[in-house]
Structure formats: structure tokens, C-alpha cells
């Protein structure tokens, strides 16, 4: 049984919004769906992404060797640093730099991937990031990945949005609320 995937997309023609470029491919005498999906996944090429063959990170261990290097492959989004108007992710490692040391007001959305209401307000947070670009820094903190920060600020239910000015927690909004509630909360702190 032969299966042919033939999507003709020119590589020289501009492709809008990082659309995948698919090459023609034939899988012959293949009865395994796993093998087909692996081969088909290898076909997609996206603009703005690159595969990093080795990424070296230093990790300190209490062993006699001191620090160890780990190498791993990964896909890196080259456009991530240039995107504006979208709420960025913040972690425990970047919390001080992005939230506490920021001169402008900071809105932090505490969320989790399994939380339905969190997914409902996520597009609203991105809209607010666009609307207040340059005036307010909008960030998202995954409470599953950074539970210590959530505990430190008393986050007991999600979604919770906190507003910080000059490194101090000023206001909080709990639950999936309308955009107008969030914007009125932000407007109180823009002139700080």
C-alpha cells in the first residue's frame, strides 16, 4: 500500500504568518501509522524556527566534579524576542528581573494549563498587553512550574491577576473577570 502526501507550496513564494512548507513525500509499503507520522512530521519546515543541535547548560551538583554540562537538542523560536503586545512568561528565575525591578506597572496572570477559566482569560491578557504596550508589562506565571512564587503571594485560586508597582504588590483580581474589570484595575496604577 502506497501513501503519497503531495502539497505543493513554493519555497520562493512568500509564506504568510509562518505557514508550514510541505515537501512532496512518498511512503511505500508502510503499514505502521507510527512510522508514517514520524516521517510526515519530518517534512514540515517553519519560518522563524530553527533546530538547535546542542544547547549546553551548566548545572551545579554536590558531587566532587563541581558542575556538570548537559547537552540537548531543541527547537528555538527566533521571533520570541521580537514579539510585542503579547504577555510573556515569567518564572522563578526571571521573577526579580521582570517583576520586582521593573519601573513600569506589572500585571502578572497566575494560571495553570489544566485550568479552564485561565484559558478563557488568556486572550484577554494578550489584548491588554497590546493595548497597554509601553505603559504596563504583562506577564504570565504558570503556577505548576513556579509554585513557590504563587505561595509567596498567597495565590489560592486561579486565575488570579496581580498588579505590581515598584516591586510591591498593589492589587489583585481573582477569577475569570471581564476585560473592563482588568483595565479599570490597571488604569489606577498607570500614573504611578
CA–CA–CA angle 142, 148, 149 (5° rounding): 65
User: Mean pLDDT over residues 20-39, rounded?
Assistant: 47
pLDDT digits (tens, 9 = 90+) for 71-88: 445 555 544 444 456 889
Mean pLDDT of the chain: 74
pLDDT in tens, 47-58: 555 555 544 444
Residue 10 has pLDDT above 70, yes or no: no
118 noted as active-site residue: yes
Show Cβ contacts of residue 58 under 8 Å, excluding neighbours closer than 6 positions.
67, 68, 69
So what's the pLDDT on residue 50? 53
pLDDT per residue over 126-150, tens digit each?
999 999 999 999 999 999 999 999 9
* pTM value > 0.75: no
Among 30, 34, 102, 115, the active-site one is 115
Instruction: Based on the residue annotation, tell me whether 138 is a catalytic residue of this protein.
Output: no
Contact 176, 117 (CB under 8 A): yes
| Chain centroid offset of residue 31 CA | 37
37 has a pLDDT exceeding 60: no
Instruction: Identify the structural domains of the chain with CATH numbers, from first to last.
Output: 2-41 (no CATH), 48-82 (no CATH), 88-187 (3.40.30.10)
Q: Which residue in 30, 34, 102, 118 is the catalytic one?
A: 118
Amino acid at each position: 500500500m502506497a501513501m503519497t502526501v503531495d502539497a505543493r507550496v513554493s519555497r520562493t513564494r512568500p509564506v504568510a504568518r509562518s505557514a508550514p512548507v510541505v515537501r512532496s513525500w512518498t511512503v511505500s509499503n508502510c503499514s505502521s501509522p507510527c512510522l508514517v507520522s514520524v516521517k510526515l512530521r519530518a517534512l514540515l519546515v517553519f519560518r522563524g524556527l530553527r533546530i538547535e543541535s546542542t544547547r549546553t547548560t551548566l548545572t551545579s551538583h554536590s558531587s566532587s566534579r563541581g558542575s556538570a554540562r548537559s547537552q540537548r537538542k531543541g527547537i528555538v523560536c527566533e521571533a520570541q524576542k521580537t514579539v510585542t503586545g503579547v504577555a510573556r512568561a515569567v518564572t522563578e528565575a526571571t521573577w526579580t528581573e521582570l517583576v520586582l525591578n521593573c519601573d513600569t506597572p506589572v500585571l502578572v496572570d497566575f494560571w495553570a494549563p489544566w485550568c479552564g477559566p485561565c484559558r478563557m482569560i488568556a486572550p484577554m491578557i494578550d489584548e491588554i498587553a497590546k493595548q497597554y504596550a509601553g505603559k504596563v508589562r504583562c506577564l504570565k506565571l504558570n503556577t505548576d512550574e513556579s509554585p513557590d512564587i504563587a505561595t509567596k503571594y498567597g495565590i489560592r485560586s486561579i486565575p488570579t491577576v496581580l498588579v505590581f508597582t515598584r516591586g510591591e504588590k498593589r492589587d489583585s483580581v481573582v477569577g475569570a473577570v471581564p476585560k473592563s474589570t482588568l483595565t479599570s484595575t490597571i488604569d489606577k496604577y498607570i500614573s504611578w
